[in-house]
Structure 1
């Protein structure tokens, strides 16, 4: 547990925000749990979801070499009431061409495998305001402590992945006319046959 003062958390939040503003992200999404949860449980669910995303984008052996991993930053909000994660994703170069609708469907499917009641809201081509938005509660101690980076989950290849993500350069993300599209998918309970 962090024992940082509010002033220190605020300064660190500003530094993190400045660092993230310099990075290029391709997807901004919110994953909802629609329930309360603990920080450790949310972390495990995010790790499981991220593993499925990496497997889909990189292949079955994604865990052996994480240099082409998805780089993600996630901030958890409202753990005690309606827990949800705001996530920024930087996709591997070969995965940037996938349609936003296909991405949203896959992200939603992977998330509902992890948590059945979950929902997903995706926006491609996030602007610089997305970084501020995911860190909006970061001065709160619980929210500050629950900020996660994807490379903390990448096992033996963690160092390689960190080097790779540190070298990422800002490159365009070509979606044609769908640059600022927004797709919202929520959980729909199955109807019972009469």
Structure 2
């Protein structure tokens, strides 16, 4: 079938094609690359046996009705999701120094968002004593009733000293970073250092109203 490629990238027979009903309909349906509902990993893994030539096209996307999520076949493994990198501009630290860096990755699963973020100090960095905030990914604000504890983290020195951190909602779009002392303090207020190569890393999870 020479076919015509439609706006949604499916192929249908062209007027000049010789007509063969069953193969042509099958080819058109195969080209649709629809999301396939499956009820288990076993059903998902059995799809290859019924695919043309016994090989799944890349990508093949399934909807796991037992897990309420999408999974994608990349030619080697099934993946349930991919992280998205972003640059979280932490505030409240006086100076991250020369060579400091701010990195982050987030994952979205329905209305749940998981974020990992690291703020690394460079040379001549200064922590300061103000409240420290990490912005959440754009367009994924905190929703529902989750306005308190978001997660945890660590302050890590190049000498291998680990100090625990607690992470709370600073606002609907920011996470605030505190020590675990009683009462809690800002990292600088607790004299956490900002040496070259030291870093703070947090891991949080929350419900969003932006999914």
TM over 0.5: no
Question: Which of structures 1 and 2 has the bigger CA Rg?
Answer: 2
Bigger proportion of residues as strand: 2
TM-score (norm 2): 0.29
TM-score (norm 1): 0.31
Greater RCO, CA 8 A, separation 6+: 1
